[in-house]
Amino acid sequence: MLDLTTSNVMERTALRVNPCKTCQPVGAMYAALGVANCMPHSHGSQGCCSYHRTVLSRHFKEPAVASSSSFTEGASVFGGRSNINTAVKNVFDMYDPDIIAVHTTCLSETIGDDLTSYIMDMDLPEGKTVVHCNTPSYVGSHINGFFNMMMGFMNYLTKKTGTPNGKAAIFPGWVNPGDIRELKRIATLMGVPYVMFPDQSGVLDAPMTGKYEYFTGGGTTLPEIASLGDTEQLIALGEITSGEPAELLQKKWKVPHTLLPMPVGIAYTDAYVMALQKFSKKEVPEELEEQRGQLVDLLLDSHPYTHGKKAAIFGDPDVVIGLTSLCLELGIVPKYVITGTPKDEFTRRVNALLEKYNVEGCTVKANADLFELHQWIKNEPVELLIGSTYGKQIAKAEDIPFIRAGFPVLDRYAGPLMPVVGYAGAIRMVEKICDALMDRQDRDAADEDLEIVM
């Protein structure tokens, strides 16, 4: 059916076809899963929670635990106070988390449930905590839900004692557990003591042990979230995802922050390393310098096969900005760059990148969808497509080499374990890009032009 997509582009404002995003509660649930011994809780219908869990489970190939207020017709009319009171009691009794992180849904937002007052009136077990954030599904995207949940945790838990703890706070943004492990590795090599928040490593990439546990031991601990107010510096990664939480930490707890792009590619990883170096005052270790040199060498070696190629890049805003920067470093022209998240800052950041590299004739759009992207490609084709699994239909219809990256990747394995960030992540992405382009070159080559050595 995608072969029948028309090339006649019509501007749409009230309709999305094949969206390039999902809804806020998915992001809130993912953020909550990055907190140790935390049960995400969906305040709405059971079907909403099931969908959100399914999206995360299909991407990470791991169970995404969460509970629900299980609204029925009665709660929809009279409100969900009784439902959430019962749910919180049952969750603490049955699963014994340290904290329940409640996020709203379309239904509870529409009927106007006041979760602040509900939680204040709860009789909680000793040592247990409930936090919440508002995540209406009909506004923003999963990225908004992610940072809203971060701010929910901070508003309830973070304190300032007045005694600095000597640590840096690091907000990784929406990335995979493999990316978080790489960010932590770099920070450790740079000698920076840190609090990573949230931290899904050890949760959604937990190893097989033969014993199922609801809480695997990974994640940012509650004392660490409380200590964010005593950190000496915040390094916030991902200007779209981490911007508002960073501003909250600075405004409310006076923690200065450095807001950086997602460290994908050479320039953006350099910025992350230099921010860590500024905090630690230590020399960049040989291990990182060597890895950076390997990446530079790889870019030079592969340049004849990437230079001038046109690409379409789509997905979550911060990852897309990072991948766009990496493509420009490779000499690839990012012909179309879109995100489904409605943030004007996205277009400003990407256009600034294009201006820096003196690249013209590209289309950049936030709050876009994949149907529109497909129409653009129909009018002016590209040689590479980079984004989530939902791009495979466009890739098949238009016969374009396709690199899966970002969220969600539903039809491949091991992606959440492998980094995109850092020098190591860039090396991996350059390999994937070159493999895709060179596989296409081999496929289309005449027999006499099929090279064994490139």
pLDDT > 70? residue 1: no
Q: Taking residues 154-170, what's their average pLDDT?
A: 96
Q: Taking residues 172-189, what's their average pLDDT?
A: 98
CA 413 to chain CA mean position, Å: 17
Q: What percent of the chain has pLDDT over 70?
A: 99
Question: What are the strands of the beta sheet with 99-104, ordered from one edge?
Answer: 67-68, 38-43, 99-104, 129-133
pLDDT in tens, 285-333: 999 999 999 999 999 999 999 999 999 999 999 999 999 999 999 999 9
Answer whether 24-157 and 168-280 agree in fold: yes
Asked if 329 and 304 touch (Cβ cutoff 8 Å), the reply is no
pLDDT in tens, 252-267: 999 999 999 999 999 9
Is omega for the bond preceding 408 within 30 degrees of 0, making it cis? yes
Task: Show me where the domains of the chain are located.
Answer: 24-157, 168-280, 286-443
pLDDT > 70? residue 2: no
Other C-beta atoms lying within 10 Å of the C-beta of residue 146: 28
Q: Which residue has the tokens 């379409």?
A: 312
Q: What percent of the chain has pLDDT over 90?
A: 88
Angle at 388 between CA 240 and CA 259, to 5 degrees: 20
At the topology level of CATH, where does 24-157 sit? Answer: Rossmann fold (3.40.50)
Asked if 198 and 220 touch (Cβ cutoff 8 Å), the reply is yes
Q: Taking residues 61-80, what's their average pLDDT?
A: 87
E strands within 173-301? 194-196, 233-237, 257-260
CATH superfamily ID and name for 286-443:
Nitrogenase molybdenum iron protein domain (3.40.50.1980)
E strands within 118-203? 129-133, 168-171, 194-196
pTM value is 0.96
pLDDT > 70? residue 137: yes
Of 3.30.420.40, 3.40.190.10, 3.40.50.1980, 3.30.70.2190, the CATH number of 168-280 is 3.40.50.1980
Q: Which residue has the tokens 């953006």?
A: 268
- CB within 8 A of 114, min separation 6: which ones? none
Kindly tell me the sign of the dihedral angle through the C-alpha atoms of 253, 255, 261, 263: negative
